[in-house]
Amino acid sequence: MISNIISTVKTIAGTFNSNGYATANTEKSLVFSFGDPEPALSNRMTEYLGTFLDLSGDYYRPPVDLTGLANLVNANAYHGPILHFKKNMTAKWFIPSKLLSTDELTQAALDYSVLANAYFQKFTDRFGNVLRLARLPAIAMRPGKKPDVFFKLNSDGTKVEFKPGEVLHIKEHDLKQSVYGVPQYFGGIQSVLLSEDATLFRRKYYVNGAHMGYILVTTDANLDDATAKQIENQVKQSKGPGNFRSLYLNIPRSNNREPVKVIPVGNIGSKDEFQAIKEIAEMDMLAMHRVYPGLVAVMPANIGGFGDLQKSMEVYHELEVMAMQQVFLTINEQIRGNPVAFREPDWKKKLSEA
């Protein structure tokens, strides 16, 4: 739309100078005001790249961009909080042990929720008995080419190689490969990005001022430069920074019967689908994470709300929380002493006692 306006103004008023003003063919002034538009933010397109050995030949590269997945946590108001909610639900009923603390389990649960991978380093005694487990950051871990060998990539480009069997790796299942886990929400990333793009577009629309509210047209052949400059200043001061910009145009020798005319350019409220996009993206994210809206602080659109949240929590625990706990309970199959255990919720205890 902006390009069409500029083309029309050029046809009517002449050519633009280097300062952004246009000089009419009749040498009468045209006051023109546009802010330079900010470049659109490029989306971080997360693609499934497959699993291949690194150039060093020591370890496998992840099939998806782990840093990109981590950045998506802060993409909008729902995706990140839902992932933290899943982490909290995994840790809520955890029983800490001598081998694994609540803090280590909580950090690993966030790694698993976001990246679908979690790693623990085994600290053993001289006899090979595990003394404790410490969480390793999943974003930096790489499974090695050799069986049961893992590497940690440091920020300075160096890497640390762990001894065979020193690292415990739990991951989400992936049909295409068995080296890394891929998050179940991977197919819904476009909805996360759509919500982010809609918000950023709306903010940039108002902030950068690269849009027009109206065109003020006068038809006065006797308009002098001082009067034109005064009108220019008044138009510029009529709106604050970041709001709609306006354009003033004087066309002398016009046959128009109206000496002053205001031409509206556009109305974002009637054409923008911001609310619809946000609502669709919200529903997509709730579905891809399989959470009840009331549990993650989504405001109900109807008067009745979301019903009994206690019942929703009980159902969610049965369908999702226990499944997430089961992933970490597999550690007990590899480590003696059952380092991972979860207590039953209070409502289950009440039912069993009754």
For β-strands 167-171 and 130-136, DSSP reports them as unpaired
Whole-number Å distance between alpha carbons of 180 and 242: 46
The residue type at 348: K
Residue 346 class from Cβ within 10 Å (0-12 exposed, 13-18 middle, 19+ buried)? exposed
Length of the chain: 354
Instruction: Using 70 as the pLDDT threshold, list the residues of the chain that sit under it.
Output: 1-46, 205-216, 219-223, 234-272, 300, 302-305, 349-354
The two three-digit tokens of residue 85, written as one number: 């909610």
Whole-number Å distance between alpha carbons of 134 and 104: 6
Whole-number Å distance between alpha carbons of 307 and 268: 36
Residue 94, pLDDT score: 97
54 Cβ contact partners less than 8 Å away, ≥ 6 residues apart: 60, 61, 142
Whole-number Å distance between alpha carbons of 105 and 90: 9
Q: What is the 3-state secondary structure (H, E, C) of the chain?
A: CHHHHHHHHHHHHCEECCCCCEECCCCCEEECCCCCCCCCCCCCCCCCCCCCECCCCCEECCCCCHHHHHHHCCCCCCHHHHHHHHHHHHHHCECCCCCCCHHHHHHHHHHHHHHCEEEEEEEECCCCCEEEEEEECHHHEEEECCCCCEEEECCCCCEEECCCCCEEEEECCCCCCCCCCCCHHHHHHHHHHHHHHHHHHHHHHHHCCCCEEEEEEECCCCCCHHHHHHHHHHHHHCCCCCCCEEEEEECCCCCCCCCEEEEECCCHHHHCCHHHHHHHHHHHHHHHHCCCHHHHCCCCCCCCCCCCHHHHHHHHHHHHHHHHHHHHHHHHHCCCCCCCCECCCHHHHHHHHC
5 Cβ contact partners less than 8 Å away, ≥ 6 residues apart: 212, 215, 247, 265
238 Cβ contact partners less than 8 Å away, ≥ 6 residues apart: 246
For β-strands 141-143 and 150-153, DSSP reports them as antiparallel
Residue 245, pLDDT score: 59
Whole-number Å distance between alpha carbons of 323 and 321: 5
CA 158, 71, 316: angle at the middle one, nearest 5? 120
Whole-number Å distance between alpha carbons of 70 and 330: 25
Count the neighbouring beta carbons within 10 Å of the beta carbon of residue 223: 16
Residue 211, pLDDT score: 55
- 125 to each of 85, 120, 128, 131, how far by Cα in Å? 36, 16, 5, 7
Residue 165, pLDDT score: 93
pLDDT digits (tens, 9 = 90+) for 52-105: 999 989 999 999 999 999 999 988 888 999 999 999 999 999 999 999 999 999
